[in-house]
Amino acid sequence: MRHILRPILIAAACAAAVSAQAAPQAGTPAVPATASAAETKAVNPIVLSNQMMITIMERIKAGNYAEARTVAKDMVFGSEKLVDTPTAVTRSFSSLMGKKLYEKMLAQEGRGNVEVTWTQQPIADGYYFLAMISFQEGKPDEALEFLQKAIFWDPVRAAFHVERGFMMHHQKARVEAATIFITYLKALELADNPQDFAAALRGIGYLFIDRRDLKSGLACYLLARRLDPDDKTAIRQIDYIRARAPGLVKDMDETKAAAILKAANVPPTFNPLHVQVRLDIADEIKDPKKVAETKAILTEALRLDPNNPEVIRRLKALN
C-alpha cells in the first residue's frame, strides 16, 4: 500500500506546482462531465485541478474507489477530441519545465518543427489516478493500460515511468526483465528531483539483485540512500546484501558505486538536459524585477549539477 499511495502524492504535488509556473501558452481544458459550461467559465482551471486532486486522494485513502474513479474520469473527459497531427501535439504537463524538456527531446529526435501545446486540463493525472484505482482493485492489466495513457499525455513525468516498472512486476503475463530495466532507465533520464531518481535506482537495484548481481545492486542502493534518505527500502536492501556479502558492503563507497553504474550504462547523475532547460527558462525572464525568480531557477539547476560552471557564473552575476 505504501509503495502505491506515495506516487499519488507525488502526482498531486506535481499538479499543484503548475500554479507556480507560467500559464500554458495555449489549450483550453475540456468541460468535465459534472460541470456546466457557465460554471467552467468562472473557474480557474488550476484551482479546479487541485481541488480534484485533493478530492480523489481523499476518496482513494478512504477506499471509496467508485467515487474516486468518477472524479478521475472527469479529469480526462473530452481528451479524445485533442488529436495530434504531424506538426502539432497537445500534452498535459505538470510544469513549464516539463513542456520545455519535451520540446528539447523532440528536437533531439529530429522533430523540432512540431508545435507543442500545454493544455491546463489534468489529463495525465486523471489517467494516472485511474491506473492507481484499477491496481488497488486488483486489475493490474487494466492499470498498466491506463498508465500508458498517462505517459502519452505527459511523456516526461519520471514518476509515471517508475510506477510503470513497478506495475510490470505485477502483470498476469510475465514481463521480461529487460523491458522493466529499460523503463527504469527512462525514469532516470527524466528524473529531475532526488526522490524520482532514487526510486528509479531502487527499481534497477531490485533487478540486479534478482539476477544475483549484488555489486551492481549495492551500487544502486547506496546512491538511492543518499538521494532519498527518508525511504527505508535502500537501507533494508543494503542490509540484505551485507548479510550475504559483508566485504562487498564494507569496500564500496558512493564514488565506487557511481563508477560501477556508469560501467553498466546506468547513469549515476541527473540528465544534463534538465540543467539546460532551466538555463533556457532563466534566459526568457527579461523583467529585471524578477531577479528572485531567476535566482530560484538557477539554484534549482545548481542542485542538479553542483559543479556546472555556467550556472555558478550566472548566480554570481546576480549577487
Same domain, 192 and 300: no
Query: Which residue among 142, 157, 172 closes a domain?
Result: 157
Domain total of the chain: 3
Same domain, 307 and 255: no
Query: Which residue among 263, 287, 306 closes a domain?
Result: 263
Same domain, 59 and 119: yes
Same domain, 283 and 237: no
Does a structural domain hold residue 304?
yes
Does a structural domain hold residue 241?
yes
CB atoms within 10 A of CB 110: 8
Same domain, 112 and 191: no
Give the residue with greater pLDDT, 40 vs 83.
83
Q: What is the pTM of this model?
A: 0.85
Same domain, 144 and 226: no
Q: What pLDDT is stored for residue 26 in this prediction?
A: 37
Does a structural domain hold residue 175?
no
Q: What pLDDT is stored for residue 24 in this prediction?
A: 43
Same domain, 24 and 136: yes
Does a structural domain hold residue 26?
yes
Same domain, 258 and 290: no
Q: Which domain holds residue 282?
A: 272-318
Same domain, 49 and 15: yes
Same domain, 277 and 258: no
Does a structural domain hold residue 129?
yes
Does a structural domain hold residue 198?
yes
Q: Which DSSP string corresponds to the chain? A: -HHHHHHHHHHHHHHHGGGGSPPPSS--PPPPTTS-HHHHHTS-HHHHHHHHHHHHHHHHHTT-HHHHHHHHHHHHTTGGG---BTTEEEE--SSHHHHHHHHHHHHHTT-TT-EEEE-SS-HHHHHHHHHHHHHHTT-HHHHHHHHHHHHHH-TT-HHHHHHHHHHHTT-SSPPPHHHHHHHHHHHHHH--SHHHHHHHHHHHHHHHHHTT-HHHHHHHHHHHHHH-TT--HHHHHHHHHHHH-HHHHHH--HHHHHHHHHHTT---S--HHHHHHHHHHHHH---GGGHHHHHHHHHHHHHH-TT-HHHHHHHHHH-
Render pLDDT for 135-190 as a digit per residue (tens, 0 to 9): 999 999 999 999 999 999 999 999 999 999 999 999 989 999 999 999 999 999 99
Does a structural domain hold residue 167?
no
Same domain, 246 and 286: no
Render pLDDT for 43-75 as a digit per residue (tens, 0 to 9): 566 676 788 888 888 998 888 999 999 999 999
Does a structural domain hold residue 293?
yes
Query: Which residue among 139, 157, 175 closes a domain?
Result: 157
pLDDT tier for residue 9 given thresholds of 50, 70 and 90: very low
CB 123 within 8 A of CB 45: no
Asked whether the predicted pLDDT for residue 7 surpasses 90, the reply is no
* Grid coordinates of 164: 510503470
Same domain, 9 and 144: yes
Render pLDDT for 300-312 as a digit per residue (tens, 0 to 9): 999 999 999 999 9
